[in-house]
Amino acid sequence: MATKDSLYQQNDASLWNEIRIGNKQALGILYGRYFDSLFSYGLMYTKKTETVEDCIQDLFISIFENKSIKPVCYVQAYLLRSLRNRILADINNNITEELKEQAFDLAIEEDVLQHIFPHDDESLYLSKKMMNAFHSLNENQKNILYLRYVKELSYNEIAEILDINPQSAQNTLSRTLIKLRDIVKKI
């Protein structure tokens, strides 16, 4: 097992292998490295912060306790997909009317936009057009935009998270961008 200081220098795949042999410190480092990213991603599926935190903790506990866990190429993508699956399972176990509110929603108030573009009416107008266009997309389209442009993930990582092949991820993003352009032109 690697020392704590050397663990901080290791890449995700090396930390993953350390976790596979039972290194709790490697688990803690990976947890610290990805908690914020996982938390913000989890909030796309539920606004209940406690649920997201519980699912993240459960995910890391199950990773550590799983003695037959396999090697992973894209650790971040694996964690994001696993968290999504846990949250969706939790939502399915607690089916309520709020299920329709679980979709990712980019909520930026008009006064925030005016603060961002205080003297630029054209930019403010374009931002509002983009927000309206974004809100007209379905959940899958919003997700793929979020993963590609906010999280800056590769098509391989997106494919692993969404459980599709990389070409499908690329095609879906391309179709989403075309749809977004068409909507903006009509507005």
Q: What is the pTM of this model?
A: 0.57
Q: Say yes or no to pLDDT of 62 above 70.
A: yes
Same domain for 126 and 182, yes or no, is yes
Provide the residue range defining the domain that includes 37. Answer: 4-99
Structure-token pair, residue 149? 């442009």
Report residue 55's pLDDT band, with 50, 70 and 90 as the boundaries.
very high
* Domain containing residue 118: CATH number: 1.10.10.10
Going by C-beta distance under 8 Å and a sequence separation of 6 or more, which residues neighbour residue 72? 13, 16, 78
The residue among 73, 99, 125 that closes a domain is 99
Burial call 35-54: b when 16+ CB within 10 Å, e when fewer:
eeebeebbbbbbebeebbee
Taking the alpha carbons of 177, 128, 158, 84 in that order, is the dihedral positive or negative? negative
Q: Say yes or no to pLDDT of 146 above 90.
A: no
**pLDDT tens-digit map of 108-130:** 455 554 555 556 677 667 777 77
Cα–Cα distances in angstroms (integers) from residue 132 to residues 46, 118, 136, 137, 149, in the given order: 22, 20, 7, 9, 18
Question: Considering the chain, what is the average pLDDT of its residues?
Answer: 81
Same domain for 90 and 116, yes or no, is no
Closest alpha carbon to 66 in 128, 5, 19: 19
Q: Say yes or no to pLDDT of 32 above 90.
A: yes
Report residue 78's pLDDT band, with 50, 70 and 90 as the boundaries.
very high
Structurally, the chain folds into a number of domains equal to 2
List helix spans (H) across the chain: 4-9, 12-20, 24-42, 49-65, 75-93, 110-116, 121-135, 139-145, 155-162, 166-186
